[in-house]
Each structure stands twice: as C-alpha cells, then as structure tokens.
Amino acid sequence: MAHLAMATGFILILIGFYGALTNRNILRMIVAFTVADSGVNLVLVAVGYMRGRTAPILDNTVPAAEAAARIIDPVPQALVLTAIVIGVGVTALMLAYSYKLYEKKRTLDITKHTELKW
Amino acid sequence: MVSAIVIIAAALAAEFMLGLFNERWRAAAYGVTLFALGFMAFISAEWVWAFAVYDAQPAEIFTAGVQPPFAINLRMGFPEAALTLLINLTGLFSALYLRRALLEKGRAAMAVLLVFVMAQNGIVLTRDIFNLFVFFELAVIATGGLMLLSEDERAVAAGFKYLIVSQVISAFLLIGIIFSYHATGVLNFDLMRPEHFAAAQGGAIAFFLMFIAVVAELKPFPANGWALDIYESAHPAFAGLFSVASAAATLYAVDKLLVLGGPAWLPVATGIGVVTFIAANLLALPQRNDRRLLGYSSVAQIGLILAVLGQRDILGDHYFFVAGGLIAAHAAAKAGLYWLSGLVASRDIIGWSTLRGHPVLIFAFVSFIALLTGLPPFPGFYAKWELAVALAGSGRYILLALILIGALIEAGYLFRWLGYALKRDKPSEEISCDPSAVTAIIAALAAGWAFAYLWGDLSAHGNILHAVPLLFALSFLLLDWLPAWVKNTVAIVGMVGYFILNYTDYDPLRLIFAVIILIGGPVILLASYDAHGRRIGFYPSAMLMYAGLTQLIGATDFFSFFVAWELLTVGSYFLILRGKHSEPHALSYIIFSLGGAFLILTGFALAATVSPLPMFEALQHLTGETAGWVFLLLAVGFMTKTAAIGLHIWLPGAHAEAETDVSPMVSGILLKAGLYGLMVLMLAMGKQRFYGIDIVHVMLWVGALSALLGNLMAIFEEDAKRLLAYSSIGQMGYALFGLALMNHLGWVMALMFVINHYIYKSMLFLSAGGVAKRTGTRLMYKMGGLITLMPLSFIAVLIGIIAVSGVPPLSGFGGRWIFYNAILSAEHRLPMVITFFSGPIAFLYLFRLIHTVFLGQLKDENRRIKEAPFWVILPQMLYVGLLMAFAIVPGLALRRVDTYLNQFFPEGGLNWEGITITSQFGYWSPVSIMIIVCAIFGSLFAWLMFINRRAQKVKQFNIVFAAERPYRPETTHFAWNFFAPYRKALGFLVQPFVTRFWETIADILHTAGDIGRRLYTGNPQTYALHFLAFVVIVYFFWTGG
Amino acid sequence: MQFDWMKIPYALLTLFIVINFGYLLNSFIAKIAARVGRRRGIPIWQTYIDVAKNYGLRTSITHGVMFYLGPVFRLSGGVGLLLFVPSIYGSSMFSNLSFAGDLILALYFVFFGTLGMALGAAESGHPYSAIGITRGLSQVTAAELPFALAIFSVALQYQTLSVTDIVAAQQGGILHWTLFTNPLAVVAAMLSFLGSMMRPPFDVVLAPQEIPIGPPTEYHSSYLALMQTNRAIFPIAKIVIYMNLFFGGATDWPTFFLKVFLIYMWSVFVGVSFPRFRVDQSIRWFLIWAVPIGVLSIVLV
Amino acid sequence: MKDELKKRLVKGPDGVEFEVDPLRDYYCDARPQVEPPAISKIVEDFFNWARAESLWILGFATGCGAIEMRPLMTPRFDAYRFGVQWRPTPRQSNLFIISGYLSTKTLKRVIRSYEQMQSPKYVMGLGSCTINGGMYWDSYNTIKRLDDYLPVDVYVAGCMPRPEALLAGFEELKRIIREGKGEGANKYAAEFDRYKANQKKVIHDWDMPDYNW
C-alpha cells in the first residue's frame, strides 16, 4: 500500500509521455506534458513518505522536540514546490509558442512544422 | 576578492532593475545589461587571477550561512573560475553583437539573456544536484525565450521542439535526482560517495537516470536533432553563445557527476563521446548550410571533450590541460564562426567567398578553422598531442584511431569550406559590416591567439610561439601591407641570415637539407620579384612553410618535429591554394598530408611513451612489437609527403595548378621534408620487421614502382607542369629506392638525388612557368618553335634534360653511377629490374617537354611573344651554373656527407682523392669526362663551322613535304599524343586504379553521411523517441558491457 | 693532374683505324648483301666517295642552332663512346681514354648521341622526323633494358665495373668467355643488340620508304657527311663493348676486326630474314622475350 | 590565293594584335646565288670525280619512265656498281631524273623538288616526252620542252629508253661532271628570272615563294 502514490505517479508519467508522443495536435501534447509533469511531482513527494508519520508542520500538535521521530522526510516536499513552479513556467512558455506557431501556419498539427530537417 | 555568489546576485539584481525600467528607456536598459555582464566577467577574471598568480585555495560559499546538507553551497575553484570567465565573456560579446536585436525587442529580451548567462554560471558553480536541475530548467526557459530573437521564422518551430524534448529530459532528471536523494540521503555533490549508490537497492539506476539526463543536455549523437535545429535557425550571436556557454557548463556538470559515479561510468562517457564525435563529423560531410554545419561541428567537438572527460583516469594532471584546451579552442572558434555567419548573407558555404575583400576577416576565418582542426600553434594542437601520448601509453589504440579518423573527417569538411571561401567566385551581395559584430569577432580572434600563447606557456614541451622561424613567418602578417619586392628582400635576407648564423651546428646530412631550404629557398624567391603589387597572403604562407622546414631539420625531440611537420603542411597548403584552379587539389593535398601527419602522431605517441629520451635515441631503443608498429606508421606518414605510389594522387594537381614561383618551392624543396623524415627514421631504427615482413624490403618495391609508374604517367601528360609533377613522383621513387637499399652508396645516391632533384626540378618548373606565362596556356601541343623567341628558357630545359636523364657530362650521371655501385652490393635484386626500366623513360618525357614546347613549328599567335621575365630567367641561369659546377666537382657537397655516413654504414664508401672517384667496383672522374666531351664536341663543332660557314638560314615551312607546301603550322607540328606507340604497348600500366580507390572511399563516406542525416526528420516527437531509444541503448550497454 | 699527354695521339690513332675499318666494313657488308642477290654491289671504297661528295657539296641550309648542333652531338656521341672503352686489351697504347669512366659511362654515353640527334631533327620542324624520334626513343627504352640487365649480371659475376678487369677475367681460352660462363646474360645482350643496330626487325625508326628515313630527313651535305662518319664509328663502338664484355675482348687488331665483323654479321643475318616490327610490337617483343632472360641471368649469376 | 596563305590579323596570348603574312613569315625568300667552284683546280677536279662516282638519284617517277629505273637495281644491270644510289629526299640527292611527261601541275612539284636540292645538282630527262612533249606534243597542259623550265644536263631519248640507255646516260653524265661542265645549278641561279618567268607563264596559280629552299 505504501507504494500506491509512487505507482500512480509513474502511471501518470507513462500516460503523459504516451499522450505527448502520439498526438499530433500541439495543445493535446502540452496537456499530456502537464499530466506527465504532475506524475513526476507525485513521485517526488511519494519518495519522502514514511509509514505511520505525519506531515512536517511544526505546530502545537507536533512540537519541535520530538518532530524528528514523528514527521516524514521534509526535503522532497521542498523540492516539489520548485519543481511545480518550474513546470508552470515551461508550460506557459509552450502555450506561448503554440500560439505563435498557430499564428504562423494556421494549423496546430506538429508534423506541418518540419522545415528544419536533415 | 568579491565572493562568487555575487555573480548570480548581480545578474538577478540587474534583471529586477530592468523590470522597474520604463518601456522607453531601452538604451539605459541595454547599458545596465552590459554593465551587469561586464561586472560578472570582472569577478570571474579576478578569481582566475587569484588562482593563477597567487595560487589561492578554492573558496566554498554557503548560502544562508549554514553547512550543507542543510543549505546549497557553491564552490569557486580554478576550473569554475576559468569556465565562468569564458561564459561571461562570451555573454558580454554576444550582448554587444545583439545590440540592434535587443534594443528592438526591448528589456524583456535583455532580462532573458541575463537569466541565460546566470543559469550557465549557476550550473558551473553549484554543488547541489537539485540546484543543478533548477539552473538547467532556467537555461531551457531562457533558450526558449532567446530563440525568438532570430529573424528566421523557422526558429519558433525549433524553440518549440527544444522545449518538448527538454521536458522529457527534465522528467528523467527529476526522477533520477529524487531517487539518488533516496539512496544517499543528501543532495550535495561533496557528501555523496559512489559506494552509497552501490549499497542502495535502486541506487545504480537512480544515478543512471540522472547521468543520462545531464549527458542528453550535451546533445549526444542520436538524440541531438533538436539542438541542430536551434543552431541552424537561432540568431547567430545567440547560437554562438549557446554553443560555447551551454557546452562548457554542461560538460563541467557531467564531470562533477563522473566524479560522483566513480570509475565504472568513465567508459560509458567515452563511448558516448567517441560515437558522437565520429557520427556528427560523418553527417557534417554532405552539409551545404553553414550554420547547420557549424551545429554538427560543435556537437562533434562536445563529443570529443566528453570522450576526454571519460579518459580522466589515464590523463592524470594533464586532464584539465587537454579538456581545457579543447574547450577553449571550441569556444573561440565556434563563437567567432557563428558571429562571422551573422555578417555573411547567403547560407550556402560557397557564399562565404564574400569575405575575400576583407583581409582581417579572412585571417579570422582561417584562424578559427585552424583552432577547430587543432593545428599548431593553437591549444587544440597541444591537447591532441597530450591525448595521443596518454592513449598510446595506456594501450587504447582503437580509441586513438577512432579519434584521429574523426578529426581527419572534420579537417576534410572544414578545409573544403575554407577552400570554397578563398577560391570560389564571390556572390553579388556584400557582407554587412556592423561595427559591434566586427568587434565581437576581433575579440574572439584575440581570445583564440591568447589561448594559443597561454597553452604554449602551460605546455611541458615549450611554447611553439617562441620559435624564431615561426615568429619571423608570423611577422610577415603584419608586413603584408608593404609592396611585394620589399617583403621579398626581407624574406631572402632573413633566410640567408638565419643560415649564416647557425649552419655550423648542422651535421653534414642536415647541412645538405639546410642548404637546400635556406639557400635554395631564396634562389627560388628571386623569381617572386617578378610579381607586382602587394601579393597579400603569399609571404606569410611561404615563410610559414620555410619556418616549418627549418624547424624540422633543427628538431631533436618528437614534439618539435611534429610541430614543424604540421607548420610546413599548413604553410604549403596556403601556398598551393593561391593557384587559379588549385582549390580541389589543395584540398586533396591537405587531407593526405593531415592523414600522414596523424599517422606520424600515432607513431611518435607510441615511441614517446616507451622512452622519454630525445627523438633519435628514443627510436633506437625501441624493440619488438612497438618498434615494428612505430616504423610502419612513421614510414607511411613520411611517404605521403614524398608521394610514393598509392599516396600520390594529390601531387600532380597541387604542383601543376600552383603559381609560377610556388611550383618550384613546393616540388623542389617541400618533397625533401618527407625524405628527411625517412632518413632520420631509417638511420635511427635500421631494418625493422613487422609481423615477419621486412618493411624496408617493401619500401624498396614501393620506391621502384613509384619510379616506374611516376615516369610512365609523366609520358602521357599533355600539360607541361603536370608532366613535371609526375616526374617528381618518379624521382622521389628513385630516392626512396636508394634509401631502402640500406647501404652506404644507396644513401649517397639518395642525397645526390636530393640535391640534383632540387636543382633541375626548380629550373624546369620555373621555365615551364615562364613559358606558360608568355603563351597563356600550359598545354604543350598549343606551343612549339619557341626556341628562337625564348632561347634562355630553352637552354635551361636543355641542361635540365641532360642532368635528369643521366647523360654523362652532367651530374645526373653521377647519381646513376652511384646507383649502379649501390645495387651491386645490395642483397635484393628483383626491384632493380623496374628501376632500370624507369631510367630511360625519364629521358622520354623530358624530350617530349623540350620538343613540343621549344622545337617544331611556331604557331601564328606565338610569333610575337617575348622571353620569360628577367626575374624568372635569373634563377634558371643560376641553376645552370650550379649544375655545371656540381657536375665537375660533386665532391664539394658529397665528400663530407660520405664520411659522415661511414658511422652508420661502415663498408662500401667512396674515396675522393684526386680527380677520380673510386668505389669498390668502378671509377668515375667527372672532371676528365667533362674535358674530353667538351674537347670532342668543340673540335667537331669547329670542323662543321669551318666547312659549313655559308649555310642559308631558312624558315619553318622550308621542309621536304613530298614536294607539297605544308598547310598550316598547327597541322605540321607533331605534339599531341606524342608517345602513341608507348600507350599502345604499356598503356595498361597507367590505368587510374589508385585514384578510383580513393574516390570510392570519399563517396562511401559522403553517402553514409547523406543517409545518416535523414535520421533528423524535423518532427519533435521523433526527436523525443530518439532520446528514449538513446537511454535504452546506453542502459543496455551499461548493464551488458 | 697526372694526365699523360701521350694518350691523345694514341686515341686519335685508334679513331683513325676504326673510322677506316667502319667505312670498309659498311661497304663490305653492302657488297655481301649484293652478292647474296647475285649483284656485283658497290665498290669497297664507295663509302669514302659518298663522304667526300657530301663534303664537296657547295650549298647547305640550316633550320636553327639546334639543327646545326644535331650532327655534332651525334658524332661526338659516337667518338666518345669509342674512346671511353679500351679497344685492345693489354696494350696501354690502345686503352684510349678509358681512365675517365667505367662500364656505366659507356652504357649512359649512348644516350648522348641519341639526345643530340633527336634535338637536331626536332628543330628541323619536319613532322616525319618527329615521328621517327618518337619511335626511336620508345624502342630504345625497351631495347636498353635487357642490355642493362645483362651488364648488371656481368658486373655481379665479375664483381667489378671496370671494362679492363672484365676482359682480364675472360682471358685464357675460349671457355673463359662470358658467353660460356654466363650464357643467359649474353643471350639477353645480343637480343638487345638487335634493337640498337637499326636493322630491319627494328628499323621502323628509319623506315626508308614510310617516313623518308625518319629523323635525318632534313639533313644533307656536310651534316650528312658527319652522320655518315658516325654511321661508321657508332656500331663498332657499341660492338666493342659487347666484345669486351661477352666475347673475351681483343688482344690485337686482327682479332678485333674479326670479332667486330662477326658480331656485326649477327644483326645483318637477323635483319635480312625478318620483316619490320611496329614500335609497340617491338616493345612487347623485348619485354616478353629479352627481359625475362635478363632477369633470369641476374637471379642465377 | 588560297586562304591559308592570305594575310591575317592574329591576337597573341598577351592581347597584342599583329599581322601574319604566311608567304613572308613561313618561307625564306632569299634568291639563289651562283656558287663558284673550289679555288684550286685540283680540289675541284677531285670533288667532280667524287660527285661523278657517287650519283644520288631523286626519281620523279612520272609517266612510263619510272619502270625503266627498277631493273637498274636488279643483278642484271646493277647501277650500284657505278656508285649510283636512290635517295627518298631531294635534300640528300644530286641527280634529278624526270622520267616521263610533265603536266603543269606536276611541273610545280618538280620545280619545288629541284629547288630543294643542294647544288651542284643535275637533271636527266628520260624519254621523248621531256625533249619535245613526245606523243603529247599537241596537248594543252603538258610541258613540251623541259629545258625551258629547268637546266637539263642529259636527255636520254627513246619512247621510254631501256635500262641500258639509262646506264649510257649515266656514263654521259659522269663525263660531263668530270669535265666540270655540270653547272646546271649555277645556270639556274644566273638566269633565275628567265626560268621563273617561263614557269609562271605556264603555272597560273603560283602560290609558293619564288625560290623554295
């Protein structure tokens, strides 16, 4: 059971990649990438999970003294925050690109933009 | 000293400040950007100065004042300082270059540029793997943003492809990082240990995911379609920055990971690197688009550096010197070339010939190409040498061979590009001389030469740029604005002065070569007085060749010998390239010469590892298997320069298409470099066996075959200079044959050939050049009957014939006489048969030269041509005098060398007292032969003059033509297909097998490249699939291997 | 310079003897050929008369300097070749000027005459003489090869290049001649001898009717006189080399005349009984037949 | 005038235009001189004897006379005994045998060959055709009397004289030469204009220099 979160994370990544690499429509690709991105974040958080421990919030229920024994590993959670922000940034940039690509060729089909080859 | 964190902080501060600026204050915003980049560069420079001069210790910078693992720390060591300096400087100059684009796009673009430079600095400085991920993502986003700067509308598609693939890569990286954290418990490089990964259950896979993701950022071979599109469509300034900065930063990141991963991962890195280097170079061969070619070339260079990173275990402390040299060379060259491509309008590589109007830009272009191919005195050369020695030392021969083959292919397409730029006809549109762009290029050029000097000082073998002859040659670059005759005088005085200063410290063998190079060279230079105007580019390349030659005979250790060898190759390449139609031939010349040079490099590397003694002793002490290999490699390398059969196809084109006074230089003097190399090799190592075959015996056969086939091919030539070029192949075959006899007289004969060949080949080339200049063509059947109009040239060719064919009174006979005595005491007899047959054939093609050009019928259009120019005739007459003197007193040159050879080949010497030279078998007295022949000739001539004094002088058509009147001079001059019967009898011997062999190899490479590059279909999804496939393959090799 | 001046008159004496012997030999062989055809043939002194008539002609033309020098080169080639090789073994009187050079000098001095003739004929501007030269030079390269191989094998056999030593080694009876001690070399040399004698199997160079006598087409009066003198000396000078190398040399003039005559007859006999080769046929013939024998002689010596 | 002999403008390789006149540039236009015999009589007699004893023939084998010369080379008549020899080129021959009728076309070649021979040179006309046109006496294009165009030393009459007649002709010629009267070349040089006028009267397309060396 403990690895349920991790497994769902990996499944999300696979779905995301599958979606991104088979759909021709650019917007569908971007959505698929966001799914993969959330899958990665889920895996990130799932790594820090320890059975029978609580969230790393130091308040009156979990005083600082015995925090080390009662909370899960806080570092992955810190990392995932940055990862999410970066995911947002990249997705925003991709959407801007898709707008410019559409503006240029009036089509969202990725296979129409292959002038640069060989 | 300002702390390293301030670099990142300054960039962030500048970005925020730009945000506060008003939209209209663009100039001020641009000023802030430049100031920020300048300040960052200043900090890194300060640190580099501290490490280099004051030998400071690496500084650890802890963010948030807490020790890791609870905070991110940065380290500013010597490598980090150098790399950040490189990145910041390139950033500064690209910003300078992007001035118009940035001002037009506004402060947003400036901010993104600052983010990009900061991200690259971050990648170098950070010691935390998640922080590494953050900076990689920042770089990705900044690249996405900066792609829109480009005018090429395909850049948008390229940027989108880049984002897609980097999304996939970052997913892998994140998963790798988090599982590595899971395995080791920390995120800091310094606290992680290879054994943590081994201990943890999925640790190895975690490290693999992280490692392969970062390596993918380096754009390795299958997974680099997305990078090539960026290189092709981005703004040239950004493409340069992207190529230099991301390469330097990511390579350092991979290096940090390799330290983490431990020795098991080094072969993986080497494997990926070498495959990328070879494949990228191969796919670059058929490229016509300049920026895409540069893209392939930078991917290849990064692959090479990755391979070097993989060899850190055997490179030891040279590791930074080699990897740093390659990165520095790559940085200066790539930035410079991309910025140059910004000036050139057309995207086809032939379009670069517009640069020809600007000497400075041409010099920059040439320096960048030399930087990339690793020619002396640039850092790539030192790196290539150290790498070769290290690889040969640790027995990794296949890797060394692959790297050298890749380097040869790269030299091939780069020099082809250089040839197009220098020789093809200029397209219409001029280059746009934007001042900021030119300053950036000049900066890159200055950086290239600064690195050259820096790496020279760092190198253990002494700085190439300190050699006097090389400095003398490079000084001609500065004097190039002077008129040609001034430079010519300076050159002649310089060379003769150098000879007078140190002819004493040459032993007799080297003295002959020194005389030919340092006295023979100026005699040929006399013919260059005939040129008018400034002759830009002639004197630097000529002096570079002569500098290479002088350093060659002065070289005592492997390194300086190899430096000299490459210098003379480069100098002669540019000399040959000056000819009108010489571009394809110069290309084949440089490829063959560099191929030969790489063989010599491998041979020296093998020998250098065995014993660190100077060259001569080191070669002597080699034994067993390596001795056989070294001898074979060096012999084949030197034989490419003497154009032995099989490696000869570059010579006819190169010598025939060169200018009038370049042909004698290249043919008379340069071919001797190969002979000198062979002499040193055979003196040091004597006879060598290679897996049971006696190599010297094989060389005997090669020499004989070259003599026969060279002369045979010369007979059927219609072009005068090609005829003389093929004859050089024949004569060099003779000399090689003499050397391979390995006995006293064989060597005396080879030396006599060296002198004879120099004199009459230069004389014949000068007279052929003079005639070609006057008649406007080199085809012999278009000339005829020029004896009355060009008598002095005729005398030169007549004396030349008598000397070459070995007819007694002149010195050619001396060579033949010594040859006979040599073969009498040699043990192999069958190759003699071929050499006997090639003797008289030499007489045939020379008679064809003199008959079709000077005798026979005079054509109408040639009736008013004048004698060849005075300065072309003067050296010829000097040579006639020299030949006469050498015929009468051969002892002058050969006596001391004969005694010198006694120490190597004791028996079979000649004794020289009195006027007769006696050998073990026969005797020859040149003085009495000359007197007797002249006496007989004189008396008979007087007798004929006395009887026949009132002969009626008649003209060309007063001939017995079966009582008919000859129709026209063209129809009565028998010259075309002069030796038709010979072709019928022996034509099958001169079928172009060798040419067809080399052409098929070139075609195979080109088609392989053409098929290979179809891999990049332009669809980002296929690129992502390439990446996934790459990951699977590497994983399979890593586990399987 | 310890050069004793007496050698010059002796050399001139040899020259005088050989010139007369040459003229008589040519007319004598012409008479034999006539007698074979049951004709009376030319009087023995006819060659003298022809030379005198050619000297006596009053006019001559010249196409240029090289044309003028052609016959001079040719004759000095013939005279030089004769004088560089000792004629009579054992007598210092008739060792001519052989102190100047050994066998190699003789082998390469043959080209001196050929070069001069070629240049002179080429200067005449006549296409036929140019064709004649091409044929001559092509043929001589193939013909010289077996001779060079034979010389090399003889030099290997006697371990010397000096002609006098080779002749010395062959003294003492007929069985000591190289003909018997090294027959292969002699066969190769005699085959190559045919090539250089301008006799029918290999006389495509002069080819009397095809290209009017090839190279010397434009030569006449005094030039022709010089060439006729050379026609007398050159074959004998070449035969002297063959005689010294392969047939034991001559210890006195009668054996000299006899041996020279017999060697000369070898080329006459072959000439009379074979049609004319084209140049490529003769090259192939030499390379297929004469050269392998020469190579064998080197390998087996 | 044929086009290869016309004056033409030619551009040299250095771009300089100049005029080429074939007749003047390709041919030597010197006039023949009278060659005086050797100074002393003894030398001249000896040379005459040598010239008589070694007659080198250039046979202009035209008409039916040529066939008569072949038997001279056979054992029966064997002209070689008398020092007679056939040479393929005019340069090396002294005796010019014209063995039959001459048309105006062949006369042009005869003149050119004759002028290329070296003096002293002799001409022998065979058959009646060279004496008075023979059976073509009334033809419009044959040469009636060889003497008008070339100095002839010996005529051998007969409508084709037999080989014996030729041998007799040779004896006659030897006698003339030995007596020093074989000066046809000098006669030709002395009366060069007359001969040339006669020749040009018959040969209308005179596209050669006056004297073909």
Q: Do D160 and D182 touch, CB atoms closer than 8 A?
A: no
Domain boundaries, chain C: 7-300
pLDDT at residue C211 in the model: 64
pLDDT at residue C46 in the model: 93
pLDDT at residue C151 in the model: 92
C-beta neighbour count of D77 within 10 angstroms: 19
Question: Tokens for B414?
Answer: 């780069």
Q: What percent of chain B has pLDDT over 90?
A: 64
Contact C145 B974 (CB under 8 A): no
Distance, in Å, from the CA atom of B589 to the CA atom of B656, rounded to the nearest integer, reads 12
What are the structural domains of chain D? Answer: 44-202 (3.40.50.12280)
Out of B175, B178, B1016, the one facing A118 most closely (by C-beta) is B1016
The pLDDT tens digits of the residues spanning B239-258 come to: 999 999 999 999 999 999 99
Residue B213 has pLDDT above 80, yes or no: yes
pLDDT at residue C2 in the model: 58
- Digit-by-digit pLDDT tens for chain D (213 residues) are 788 889 999 999 988 999 999 999 999 989 999 999 888 999 999 999 999 999 999 988 887 888 888 899 889 998 999 999 988 889 999 999 998 889 988 999 999 999 999 989 999 999 888 998 888 889 888 999 999 999 999 999 988 899 999 999 999 999 999 999 989 999 999 999 999 999 999 998 888 889 988
Segment among B54-68, B250-264, B728-742, B786-800 with least mean pLDDT? B54-68
pLDDT at residue C209 in the model: 62
Taking contacts as CB-CB distances below 8 angstroms, the residues of chain D near B861 are: 10-13
Distance from CA of C206 to the nearest CA of D (A): 11
Distance, in Å, from the CA atom of B555 to the CA atom of B46, rounded to the nearest integer, reads 39
Provide the β-strand partners of residue B188.
B128
Q: What percent of chain B has pLDDT over 70?
A: 100
The pLDDT of B3-26, averaged and rounded, is 90
Report the greatest alpha carbon distance in chain C. Answer: 58
Closest CA to B293 of A118, D119, C208, D23: A118
The pLDDT tens digits of the residues spanning B881-939 come to: 999 988 888 888 888 888 888 888 888 778 888 788 888 888 888 888 999 999 999 99
B64 or B181: which carries more pLDDT confidence? B181
Query: Using 50, 70 and 90 to split pLDDT, how confident is the model at A74?
Result: confident
Contact C72 B978 (CB under 8 A): no
CA of D130: how far to CAs of B38, C159, D35, D155, D201, in Å?
A: 112, 70, 27, 8, 18
Q: Do B355 and B437 touch, CB atoms closer than 8 A?
A: no
Determine the residue of chain A that is closest to B145 in CA distance.
Answer: A93
pLDDT at residue B920 in the model: 85
Residue B200 has pLDDT above 80, yes or no: no
Global ipTM: 0.91
Contact A47 B157 (CB under 8 A): no
Chains A and D touch (3+ CB pairs under 8 A): no
| Burial class (CB within 10 angstroms; exposed 0-12, middle 13-18, buried 19+) of A77 | middle
Q: Which amino acid is at B46?
A: E
CA of B239: how far to CAs of A23, A97, B35, B348, D19, in Å?
A: 30, 19, 22, 17, 64
In a mutational test of the B interface, the residue from C4, C12, C108 whose CB has the highest number of chain B CBs within 10 Å is C108
pLDDT at residue B728 in the model: 94
Q: Which residues of chain C have pLDDT under 50?
A: 1
Contact C152 B978 (CB under 8 A): no
Chains A and B touch (3+ CB pairs under 8 A): yes
Give me the residue label for tokens 């004998």.
C236
Averaged confidence pLDDT in chain B: 91
pLDDT at residue B1041 in the model: 60
Out of A21, A43, A110, the one facing B1025 most closely (by C-beta) is A21
Determine the residue of chain B that is closest to D112 in CA distance.
Answer: B963
Give me the residue label for tokens 């236009």.
D29
Contact A116 B1025 (CB under 8 A): no
pLDDT at residue D149 in the model: 93
In a mutational test of the B interface, the residue from D14, D19, D43 whose CB has the highest number of chain B CBs within 10 Å is D14
Query: Using 50, 70 and 90 to split pLDDT, how confident is the model at B879?
Result: very high
Distance, in Å, from the CA atom of C107 to the CA atom of C87, rounded to the nearest integer, reads 16
In a mutational test of the C interface, the residue from D41, D118, D121, D183 whose CB has the highest number of chain C CBs within 10 Å is D118
Q: Do C108 and B806 touch, CB atoms closer than 8 A?
A: yes
Question: Tokens for B983?
Answer: 């072709």
C:177-216 residues touching chain D, CB 8 A cutoff = 208-209, 212-213
Contact B982 C73 (CB under 8 A): no
The pLDDT tens digits of the residues spanning B813-838 come to: 988 898 888 888 888 888 888 888 88
CA of B585: how far to CAs of B341, B408, B415, B590, in Å?
A: 26, 17, 12, 9
Q: Do C108 and B929 touch, CB atoms closer than 8 A?
A: no
Touching check for B141 and chain A: CB below 8 Å?
A: yes
Closest CA to B329 of B163, B459, B486, B451: B451
Half-sphere exposure (Cβ direction) of B400: Cα atoms closer than 13 Å: 23
Query: Please, which residues have CB within 8 angstroms of residue D190's CB and are 6 or more apart in sequence?
Result: D34
Distance, in Å, from the CA atom of B978 to the CA atom of B848, rounded to the nearest integer, reads 7
Q: Contact partners of D by the rule of 3+ C-beta pairs under 8 A?
A: B, C
Question: Tokens for B433?
Answer: 């001389």
Out of C63, C101, C279, the one facing B981 most closely (by C-beta) is C279
Determine the residue of chain D that is closest to C223 in CA distance.
Answer: D92
Q: Which amino acid is at C88?
A: I
The pLDDT tens digits of the residues spanning D59-101 come to: 888 878 888 888 998 899 989 999 999 888 899 999 999 988 8
CB pairs under 8 A between A and B: 105
Q: Which amino acid is at B947?
A: I
Determine the residue of chain B that is closest to C123 in CA distance.
Answer: B855
C-beta neighbour count of B217 within 10 angstroms: 23
Taking contacts as CB-CB distances below 8 angstroms, the residues of chain C near B916 are: 99
| Burial class (CB within 10 angstroms; exposed 0-12, middle 13-18, buried 19+) of B877 | middle
Please name the CATH architecture into which domain A4-51+68-112 falls.
Orthogonal Bundle (1.10)
Distance from CA of D212 to the nearest CA of B (A): 7
B242 or A69: which carries more pLDDT confidence? B242
3-state SS, residue C128: helix
The pLDDT of B134-145, averaged and rounded, is 94
Question: Tokens for D64?
Answer: 């039916």
Contact D54 C53 (CB under 8 A): yes
Give me the residue label for tokens 């050089």.
B728
Contact B954 D28 (CB under 8 A): yes
Touching check for D6 and chain B: CB below 8 Å?
A: no
pLDDT at residue B165 in the model: 93
Contact C213 D88 (CB under 8 A): yes
Residue B524 has pLDDT above 80, yes or no: yes
Q: Contact partners of C by the rule of 3+ C-beta pairs under 8 A?
A: B, D
Q: Do B28 and B103 touch, CB atoms closer than 8 A?
A: no
Distance from CA of C133 to the nearest CA of D (A): 18
Contact C40 D46 (CB under 8 A): no
Question: Tokens for A43?
Answer: 């895996």
* CA D142, D148, D153, D154 torsion-angle sign: positive
Out of C37, C42, C209, the one facing D75 most closely (by C-beta) is C37
Touching check for B839 and chain C: CB below 8 Å?
A: yes
Distance from CA of D47 to the nearest CA of C (A): 6
Chains A and C touch (3+ CB pairs under 8 A): no
Touching check for D17 and chain B: CB below 8 Å?
A: no
Query: Please, which residues have CB within 8 angstroms of residue B733's CB and are 6 or more apart in sequence?
Result: B644, B645, B702, B703, B704, B705, B706, B707, B708, B709, B710, B838
Determine the residue of chain B that is closest to D211 in CA distance.
Answer: B958
Q: Contact partners of A by the rule of 3+ C-beta pairs under 8 A?
A: B
Distance, in Å, from the CA atom of A85 to the CA atom of A79, rounded to the nearest integer, reads 10
Touching check for D46 and chain C: CB below 8 Å?
A: yes
